[in-house]
Amino acid sequence: MTIGGGGYELWFIGAQRETIMNGKLAAALDLRSFEDLEQFIPRAAEAAGLDAEKPLPFLVSGGQALIEFHIPNRIDDAPHDIEMHEKIKIKFELVKTEATIVGFHSTRHRGVFTPGDSNIHIHFQTPDNSQSGHIEKLNIGAGARLCLPAT
C-alpha cells in the first residue's frame, strides 16, 4: 500500500500484527514506550506545515544518550507467535553513541507499520554501519536533529 504526503511517499507491505500474532514472517517488528517522541512528532509536523493526521516518515540524527534495542535471532522453522517473538529477541544497549534513527508515525496504522500499542516505529543505524536494530528504549542526546519531509 502507498500513502502519499507532502514531499514523500510511504510504502508498506503486510501488517505487524500478522507477523507477531499469526506467524507471517515477512517482517518482524516490535517497539514499545516512546511516549515523548510519539507526542512530539505530530506537534513538530504541524509546526512544519505537515498534516499530522497522515502517516509520515522522520529521521533523528546526532548523538543519542541511550539506545536499548533488539534483533530477532530466528534459527529454526518453529511456529512464530508473540511468545516466540519475545523469546528470540537478543537485546543490546548503547550509551552515548552517534546514530541515525529512522521512524514512521501514524495514528491510523497501529499493528500495520507501527506496533499495536504505539503511533511510532523506530530503528537505528550507527554511522559506520556496525550496529542497527529495533529500538525498545531511547533517550535522545542533546543536539540531536529531527528531520521531517519537505512541505
Q: Decide if pLDDT at 10 tops 70.
A: no
Return the pLDDT at 31.
31
Q: What count of residues does the chain have? A: 151
> Pick the residue with more confidence: 100 or 76?
100
Helix (H, G, I), strand (E, B) or coil at 124: strand
> Pick the residue with more confidence: 7 or 11?
7
CA distance 17 to 115: 8
Q: Are 104 and 114 in contact (CB under 8 A)?
A: yes
Q: Which residues pair with 66 in a beta bridge?
A: 95, 139
Q: Decide if pLDDT at 133 tops 70.
A: yes
Q: Could you tell me the residue range of the domain that residue 69 belongs to?
A: 2-147
> Pick the residue with more confidence: 61 or 10?
61
Instruction: Give DSSP secondary structure letters for 64-121.
Output: EEEEEEEEE---S-----HHHHHHTEEEEEEEEEEEEEEEEE-SS-BTTTB-TT-SEE
Number of domains the chain contains: 1
What residue type is 12 in one-letter code? Answer: F
The whole-chain average pLDDT of the chain stands at 81
Return the pLDDT at 47.
87
CA distance 119 to 110: 6
Q: Looking at residue 32, which CATH number applies to its domain?
A: 3.30.1330.80
What residue type is 150 in one-letter code? Answer: A
Average pLDDT over residues 65-70: 94
Q: Are 85 and 72 in contact (CB under 8 A)?
A: yes
Nearest to 69 by CA among 143, 137, 151, 149: 137
Residues 34-58: tens digit of each pLDDT: 677 888 889 888 888 999 899 999 9
C-alpha cell at 116: 499495536
